[in-house]
Structure 1
Amino acid sequence: MTEVSVRAVTPAEFDVWQAELAAGYAQEHVSAGNWPADEALDRARQAIAVQLPDGMATPGELLLIGVLPDGSPVGRIWISLTHPRGLAHCAYLQDIELVAERRGQGLGRALLAAGERAARERGAHALELNVFGANETARNLYESSGYRVVTQQMRKNLLT
C-alpha cells in the first residue's frame, strides 16, 4: 500500500473544503430522503457550523490533508476527538474524501489509516463513523479496514 501521511489544512484549503463538504453532505441527505433538496445546502452548512464554531481553530477537531511522500495531496479527513455521544476514548470520523482522480489506487485505505494513526496519537482508543447505506464503496472500505456495525438505521418506503 502506498504510504500517506497527514498534515493540518491551511486556511485556503479549509475554505474550499467547507464548501465542498456542505455540498456533498447535502446531496447525501437528499439522496437518502432525509432532507428536501431546496433546504439541504442550508441545513448542511448549519450542521457544519455547529460542529466547527471556531472554524478550523475549533478545539478537538483534526482537519487534515492526506499527502504522498512527494507532498502531493490525495484527499482530506476530518476526525472529532470527542465522540458526539460522549464515548470515552472514542474519536469520530466526520468526513473522508479522496481526490477524484486518485480513487481506485488504494489511497482511500491509506488515508483512513493515516487518520487512525493521528487519532491514536491524540489518545483515541477507537474510531467510530456513520456511513450512508447507499454508499457501497465507503461501506466496503470501512468493512475491509476492520470496522464493524455497532448500530444500524433502516427505512422502508411505504408509498411505493
Structure 2
Amino acid sequence: MTDTRLQTMPATSLPAWLDATMAEYVESRMQAGETREQAEANKQKSLDQWFPGGQPLAGHHVWDVLDGDDTVVGYLWIGPFEPGSADWWVFNVEIDEAHRRKGHARRALDLGHAVAKDEGATSIGLNVFGYNAGAKELYERLGYGVTAMQMKLPLT
C-alpha cells in the first residue's frame, strides 16, 4: 500500500482549487450532455449549496492528497449530503495524471471513509459520469454499488 495521506487544504489554496474543480465540473456535465447554460447553472447551485461565501459547508472536508514525499498529488472533498445527515457523499476526488495508478485514490478514499464513519456517517455515495470508466472501475473495487443509472441517446 502507498504512503498516501490527507491534509486539510490550506485556505490560501482553496479559491484556485474551487475555480479549477468547478470548471472541470462544467466540462464534465457538458460532456455528459448538458448545454453550457445548464452546466453553469448546476455549477452555481453547487457553489451556493456547498461553498457558501466561498468556504466549505460545515462538516465538509476538502483535503490535499499527499504522497510519501509530502508532494500534493491530488485532492478529496467529502461531506454530508444534507447538513447533519448520516448519508455522506464523495463530491470530488482527483489524482494528478502523473501520480495515477499508484494507489493514491484508493487510499485517499479509504482514509476519507474512515473520517466519515468517525463523524457519524452510515453510508457514502458518489456520482461518476458514464464516460469515466477508470473511476467507475475503482469505485466498484472499493465496494460501491449502482443505486441509479441515467442513460441518454443523442438524436443528432
TM range (shorter): 0.7 to 0.9
1:70 is aligned to 69
Assess if the C-alpha contact under 8 Å between 1:80 and 1:92 holds in 2: yes
- Aligned pairs (5 A) from 1:1-160: 1-34=1-34, 36-37=35-36, 40-41=39-40, 43-81=42-80, 83-84=81-82, 88-157=85-154, 159-160=155-156
- C-alpha distance in 2, partners of 1:92/1:27? 21
Of residues 1-10 and 44-53 in structure 1, the stretch that sits farther from structure 2 once superposed is 44-53
1:38 deviates by 6.0
Q: Deviations over 1:23-46 (max 9, x none)?
A: 110110111112x23664564244
Q: Aligned partner of 2:107: which letter?
A: A
Instruction: Give the aligned CA root-mean-square deviation in angstroms.
Output: 2.2
**Aligned positions, number:** 156
**Conserved 8 A contact 1:22-1:41:** no
Q: TM-score, normalised by structure 2?
A: 0.88
- The alpha-carbon distance between structure 1 residues 108 and 57, as it changes in their structure 2 partners (threshold 3 A), is closer
Q: Deviations over 1:138-159 (max 9, x none)?
A: 10110011111111112222x2
Do the aligned partners of 2:77 and 2:90 also contact (CA within 8 Å) in 1? yes
Q: Secondary structure at the match of 1:28?
A: helix
